[in-house]
Amino acid sequence: MQRITDYYSLDGKAPRYTGPEELSVLGQWVDSDIQLSPYSVLQVLDLVRKAEQDVFAVTEEFGGNAHTTEISPKGVSIENDWVEHVRGTFTLDQALDVLLDFWEFCKVCLGEKSEQVHREWVAEHGRDPLRAY
């Protein structure tokens, strides 16, 4: 599978996705709705990991500034609330790849803050969304 390997930030705050075109809706969702929020990245990773682990998991919705996202064992469906043609459905593996790559970007941009949020997440929830459940 082709991986997202390049996010960049012109102003140091808002990342912009650059990667495979077929994953661009995933990239847009990550950079516009999740942004550089380590907690949000971990929250969504956790939802995807749960869906991956339990074929009977209920569909979870993740709302953001621009997209409505549904995460279920069948995959991740994303729809832009403002631009009708920007939508897509992706496998859980594709979503995990994009989210894990974005986590790496967060670590570079935010340094210790992302690691601190990660430690707090694991302590609070008792699981690590950066690892398979």
Express each pLDDT in 113-123 by its tens digit.
999 999 999 99
Q: Is the pTM of this model over 0.85?
A: yes
pLDDT at 2: 43
Say which residue, 3 or 61, is predicted with more confidence.
61
State yes or no: pLDDT of 5 exceeds 70: no
Which has more confidence, 28 or 78?
78
b (16+ CB within 10 A) / e for 36-64: bebebbbbbbbbbbbbbeeeeeeebebeb
pLDDT score at 11? 56
pLDDT at 44: 96
C-alpha 24/C-alpha 117 separation (Å) is 27
Contacts of 50 (CB under 8 A, 6+ apart): 57, 60, 133
Q: Is the pLDDT of residue 68 over 70?
A: yes
SS3 85: coil
